[in-house]
Amino acid sequence: MTKQLKVAVLGGGSFGTAIANIIAHNNHLTYLWMRSEEQALECKAKRENTRYLAGHPLHEQLLITADLKAAVAQADLIFVSIPSHSFRVVVQQIKPFLAPAAMVVSTAKGLEPQGFTLMSQILEQELPEHKIGVLSGPNFAKEIVQLQQTGSVIASENSALIACVQETLSSATFRVYSNGDRYGVELGGALKNIYAIICGMAAALGAGSNTQAMLLTRSLAEMGRFAQVMGADPMTFLGLAGVGDLILTCTSNLSRNYRVGYALGQGKKLEEIVANLGQVAEGVNTLRQVKQKADELGVYMPLVAGLYAVLYEQRAIADVARGLMLGEQNYDVEFLGKK
């Protein structure tokens, strides 16, 4: 193996816990930081994250702490697995403790609530001297800790960071691919949450396989169209961080955003659903921001507009669905030559 690194994973949710466990299994000095001292002490005592990954033992060498300085000081590599609404605050808190050569990777799939800012852009703004990257892909934490075969993507402009993350995370059951389009990979992770809500809603309303196939494919078309206007490479969306993550999130009850959509399709109110979820469903926040940005840039995103109308304009789902079906009949494949 390569030399032992000190690695910090910030965030005691399901995904942060899962990747920290992989890294500890790979014999690196691994810290898992949790904001709650009570939660950290419980996880240390039980060697299990009972709140997010109950029933899955944590590696005996994984160091669990609520001391942020202890976790990140002299760390070679830091993964920030914090929800978007708290991401910037935590990054600001770690800045004084970072070693000059520390590399920082976001695993959060969302947008900052105050503006159209992706998590790696926050890293650029707050940590301009450090190499940064994004880890994203079709990755349910419960399946990772069950040692199901899983693929993810590390995206960065820096080849040394990519190599470091691949060496640190790769195992017999976790494979890490590389991509130079950091913005596209991160957009894919954020955008797919919107479509997971739509697909969950459709499933609750009894949509058949034809409908789900159409929704998935047109969702991918919208994502690529929006990404291209935003400066990303639409071809990125044909990979794991695009279509792979879209399929996973839009077809499984393990997806929080899918569960939000399913409950909406059953007639429940959004506020009640979010309150009962107990975890962050990033798609609800992302929808508002993507709708605003698409309108501003003139990007045609009928599925985004339809979901927005249901959630925030009190439009009936049946009326919106009918409008989508009777709307403009557009090209099937967006980036082929149009005759």
What is the tens place of the pLDDT at every residue in 94-115?
999 999 999 999 999 989 977 8
pLDDT at position 2 is 66
Same domain, 212 and 297: yes
The string of pLDDT tens digits covering residues 289-323 is: 999 999 999 999 999 999 999 999 989 888 888 88
User: Does any domain span residue 111?
Assistant: yes
Q: What's the half-sphere exposure (Cβ side, CA atoms, 13 Å) at 86?
A: 12
Taken in order 190, 195, 196, 198, the sign of the CA dihedral is: positive
**Measured between alpha carbons, how far is 90 from 93 in angstroms, rounded to an integer?**
5
User: Does any domain span residue 28?
Assistant: yes
Same domain, 158 and 85: yes
User: Does any domain span residue 11?
Assistant: yes
The CATH code of the domain that includes 33 is 3.40.50.720
Same domain, 43 and 172: yes
User: Does any domain span residue 128?
Assistant: yes
How far lies 324's CA from each of 105, 111, 301, 327, in Å?
A: 38, 26, 11, 5
Same domain, 29 and 142: yes
Reported as type and span, the H/E element at residue 307 is helix 302-312
How many of the other CB atoms lie within 10 Å of CB of 49?
A: 28
User: Does any domain span residue 157?
Assistant: yes
The secondary structure of 311-332 as a DSSP string is HHS---HHHHHHHHHTS----S
Expressed as residue numbers, the domain containing 233 is: 191-325
User: Does any domain span residue 334?
Assistant: no
What's the average model confidence in pLDDT over 181-193? 96
What's the average model confidence in pLDDT over 160-170? 98
Same domain, 147 and 266: no
**Measured between alpha carbons, how far is 66 from 36 in angstroms, rounded to an integer?**
6
Same domain, 164 and 40: yes
Of 60 and 280, more confident: 60
pLDDT at position 339 is 42
**Measured between alpha carbons, how far is 284 from 29 in angstroms, rounded to an integer?**
36
User: Does any domain span residue 186?
Assistant: no
Same domain, 149 and 250: no
Same domain, 67 and 215: no
Whether residue 1 is predicted with pLDDT greater than 60 in this model: the reply is: no
Same domain, 107 and 217: no
Query: Which residues does the annotation mark as catalytic?
Result: 192
What's 55's DSSP letter? T
pLDDT at position 169 is 98
Q: Which of 50, 52, 51, 43 is closest to 24 using CA atoms? A: 43
Same domain, 27 and 71: yes
User: What is the CA angle 278-318-293, rounded to 5?
Assistant: 60
pLDDT at position 329 is 60
The string of pLDDT tens digits covering residues 22-73 is: 999 999 999 999 999 999 999 999 999 999 999 999 999 999 999 999 999 9
The CATH code of the domain that includes 195 is 1.10.1040.10
Where among 145, 180, 215 does a domain terminate? 180
Where among 128, 147, 180 does a domain terminate? 180
User: Does any domain span residue 46?
Assistant: yes
In this prediction the pTM is 0.92
- The confidence band for 210, taking pLDDT boundaries of 50, 70 and 90, is very high
Helices (H), 171-277: 182-204, 209-230, 245-251, 256-265, 270-277
Q: How would you classify the pairing of strands 6-10 and 132-136?
A: unpaired
Q: How many domains does the chain have?
A: 2
What's 59's DSSP letter? P
Q: Is 133 in a helix, a strand, or coil?
A: strand
Same domain, 11 and 146: yes
Same domain, 168 and 276: no
Where among 150, 180, 210 does a domain terminate? 180
